[in-house]
Amino acid sequence: MAERFECEGAAVLRRNRRQLLVSAVPSGLGLWMVALAFVFGASELAIPALPLFIMSFLGGVLTYRANDDPIRVPRRIAGDREGLHIDGRLAVRRSRITSAFVQRGSPPVVRIERGLLPELSIEVRDTSQGRELLSALGFDASREVLRLRAASGMLDVRTGELLLKHVLPLVASIVVITLSASAKQPLGVALGAVMAALAGGWVLRRALERTRVEIAAEGVRLSWAGRVRLLRYDDITGVRVLPRVSGGQDIFGVEIALRAGERVYVPCGTEQRLHLDPAALVAQLQEARSTYADRPAAGAVPALERRGRSHRAWITELRRIGAGASVDHRTAALDPDALVRVLEDPDADPAARAAAAIAAAPADPEIKQRIRIAASTTASPKLRVALEHAANDEEDDAALEEALAALEREVH
């Protein structure tokens, strides 16, 4: 690992708080309606303020998180074992950084994740400079999960679905409010306002929430508005940039072709607002597929299978094997390197990878670190949890049993 690396020509991408002014417009309208209700003594005028306040709050949160129009601030950036330094000051300690990766683009951006704290974005001169910075911080750029944000999945929603799921609920709530107000039914007006708040919040969330693209060791994980899908590299036959026309506007995105003939579309934005460079996304997907294809195959290890045992008995046996005991009177003890090969093989059965981690964990502190790295590079949340429990210094067999059971349910 490099002792220290200083980036030349780097810049911090700060959040543009001016974007929050746009999301504050609905709140302004809501306050205006409350004022009118107070002046004219007509409380029903204040009812529509509720959905406006909710929409304003959701819009502000999603807009701030998306950081679509950041402000570029040139800074002296350096990285070492201690952490990330900005203008000679330690800005983020290495222990606080949970993940880091280089996002391709023009120019590339180093994304530094800090747990629950907002992500830190560093614009660098080129990809190699970003990777050197990660190396100085102690990260292997080739093994990190890339967590990217494309455009909202609404850009890929069909017109019929758009009308049925988004326009119709809003129209229905407005009709309820109008009819109830004309009939002087306060309860109906309140019900319509609640419907409008829910429908408006639903539409706003789906419109502003961007598609998450996680490029991991074994595949690509796509998630948007509660929809989650894992596309394994074995099932992907091709990736290409594919522009589309929808609703009279040009949409740019990436098409992922699957072996079964299905084609999955990842919208990256429009000509006016491109959230993610589709060409850069294709390059990163192709690089990940190439790395996956060149991986050394570990092969199956029957000794790691559960074979009908309880999860508690299975864990006990795995730890016995990892401690150097023979598998049985005919099979010699497993070599720690063989266990690590299974652990780090993205094509291996997830349950076998978790079992290998449990067996290998007591062998060496360095192996525990490799287990944690394997956990951070998988796209499967259930496998990630199982590996994290396996690498935990404080053994919690109950939590480990639960994680293994959940992993098996996901696989089968």
Count CA within 13 A, CB hemisphere, residue 407: 27
Q: Do domains 4-14+67-144 and 146-294 have the same CATH topology?
A: yes
pLDDT score of 66: 66
Q: Domain spans of the chain?
A: 4-14+67-144, 146-294, 302-411
pLDDT score of 254: 95
Per CATH, the architecture of 4-14+67-144 is what? Answer: Roll (2.30)
Q: Are 180 and 191 in contact (CB under 8 A)?
A: yes
* CA 36 vs CA 30, 33, 175, 193: distances in Å: 10, 5, 22, 17
Integer Cα distance of 129 and 78 in angstroms: 11
pLDDT score of 329: 40
pLDDT score of 114: 86
Over the chain (412 residues), the average pLDDT of each successive run of 10 is: 80 80 76 81 70 74 71 92 92 88 86 85 91 88 79 77 68 70 68 71 76 89 88 93 81 93 92 87 91 72 83 88 59 71 85 89 78 84 89 81 86 59
Q: In terms of DSSP H, where are the helices of 67-185? A: 127-137, 159-162, 168-182
pLDDT score of 129: 92
SS3 sequence, 301-336?
A: CHHHCCCCCCHHHHHHHHHHHHCCCCCCCCCCCCCH
- b or e along 3-38 (b: 16 or more beta carbons within 10 Å of the residue's beta carbon)? eebebeebbbbebeeebeeebeebbebbeebbeebe
DSSP 3-state assignment of 116?
Answer: coil
Q: Are 306 and 312 in contact (CB under 8 A)?
A: no
Backbone dihedral region of 321: left (phi > 0), alpha (psi from -120 to 50 degrees) or beta? alpha
CATH C-level class of 146-294: mainly beta
pLDDT score of 74: 93
